[in-house]
A = this chain, B = another copy of it.
Amino acid sequence: MNNFNFCRPTDFYFGRGVENDAGEICKKHGAKKVLIHFGGGSAIKSGLLDKVEASLDKAGISHLRLGGVKPNPRAELVYEGIELCRKEGVDTVLAVGGGSVIDSSKAICNGVKYDGDFWDFHMGGVIPKDSLTLGCVLTIAAAGSEGSNSCVINKVIDGVVKKKGCNCQCNVPDFAIMDPELTTTLPPYQTACGACDIMCHVMERYFTNTKDVELTDGLCEGVLRTMVAMIPRVMSDPKDYEARANIMWASTMAHNNICGVDREQDWGSHRIEQELSAFYDCAHGAGLAVVMPAWMECVMEHDVMRFAQFANRVFGISVDFEHPQRTAKAGIAALRALWKSAGLPLNFEELGAKREDIPVLVDHLVKDDKTEGHFVIMDGPFITKVLEHAADYRD
Binding site for B on A (CB under 8 A): 1-18, 211-223, 225-226, 229-230, 242-243, 245-246, 249-250, 253, 258, 261-262
Question: What chain B residues lie within 8 Å of A225 (beta carbons)?
Answer: 214, 218
Expressed in whole angstroms, the Cα–Cα distance for A128 and B175 within the complex equals: 22
- CB-contact partner of A219 in B8, B12, B219, under 8 A: B219
Question: What chain B residues lie within 8 Å of A242 (beta carbons)?
Answer: 1, 211-212
Question: What chain B residues lie within 8 Å of A3 (beta carbons)?
Answer: 14-18
Structural contact, A9 and B12, CB atoms closer than 8 A: no
Question: What chain B residues lie within 8 Å of A14 (beta carbons)?
Answer: 3-6, 261-262
In the complex, the 10 A-B pairs of residues with the closest C-beta atoms, listed nearest first: A218-B222, A3-B15, A9-B9, A212-B242, A7-B11, A215-B226, A6-B12, A1-B245, A222-B222, A215-B246
Residue of B nearest to A243 (CB): B212
Structural contact, A15 and B7, CB atoms closer than 8 A: no
User: A215-B226, A215-B250, A253-B215 are contacts. A7–B5 as well, Cβ < 8 Å?
Assistant: no
Expressed in whole angstroms, the Cα–Cα distance for A250 and B253 within the complex equals: 16
Residue of B nearest to A25 (CB): B5
Expressed in whole angstroms, the Cα–Cα distance for A173 and B245 within the complex equals: 29
Structural contact, B211 and A215, CB atoms closer than 8 A: no
Structural contact, A249 and B222, CB atoms closer than 8 A: no
- CB-contact partner of A215 in B7, B10, B15, B223, under 8 A: B223
User: A14-B262, A253-B258, A261-B14 are contacts. A1–B215 as well, Cβ < 8 Å?
Assistant: no
User: A14-B262, A18-B3 are contacts. A226–B230 as well, Cβ < 8 Å?
Assistant: no
Expressed in whole angstroms, the Cα–Cα distance for A242 and B217 within the complex equals: 14
Structural contact, A245 and B212, CB atoms closer than 8 A: yes
Q: How far is the CB of A247 from chain B (nearest CB, A)?
A: 8
Expressed in whole angstroms, the Cα–Cα distance for A308 and B242 within the complex equals: 22
- CB-contact partner of A249 in B15, B16, B262, under 8 A: B262
Expressed in whole angstroms, the Cα–Cα distance for A242 and B211 within the complex equals: 9
Question: What chain B residues lie within 8 Å of A6 (beta carbons)?
Answer: 11-12, 14
User: A214-B230, A226-B214 are contacts. A5–B11 as well, Cβ < 8 Å?
Assistant: yes
Expressed in whole angstroms, the Cα–Cα distance for A12 and B226 within the complex equals: 27
Q: List 30 A-B contacts (CB under 8 A).
A: A1-B15, A1-B242, A1-B245, A1-B246, A1-B249, A2-B15, A3-B17, A4-B14, A4-B15, A5-B11, A5-B12, A5-B14, A6-B12, A7-B10, A211-B242, A212-B243, A214-B229, A215-B222, A215-B223, A215-B246, A215-B249, A215-B253, A217-B222, A218-B223, A219-B219, A219-B253, A220-B222, A222-B222, A245-B262, A253-B258
Question: What chain B residues lie within 8 Å of A261 (beta carbons)?
Answer: 14, 249
Expressed in whole angstroms, the Cα–Cα distance for A1 and B216 within the complex equals: 23
Question: What chain B residues lie within 8 Å of A229 (beta carbons)?
Answer: 214
Q: How far is the CB of A52 from chain B (nearest CB, A)?
A: 18
Expressed in whole angstroms, the Cα–Cα distance for A2 and B10 within the complex equals: 19
Q: How far is the CB of A26 from chain B (nearest CB, A)?
A: 15
Question: What chain B residues lie within 8 Å of A226 (beta carbons)?
Answer: 214-215, 218
Question: What chain B residues lie within 8 Å of A213 (beta carbons)?
Answer: 246
Expressed in whole angstroms, the Cα–Cα distance for A6 and B220 within the complex equals: 20
Residue of B nearest to A4 (CB): B14
Q: How far is the CB of A217 from chain B (nearest CB, A)?
A: 8
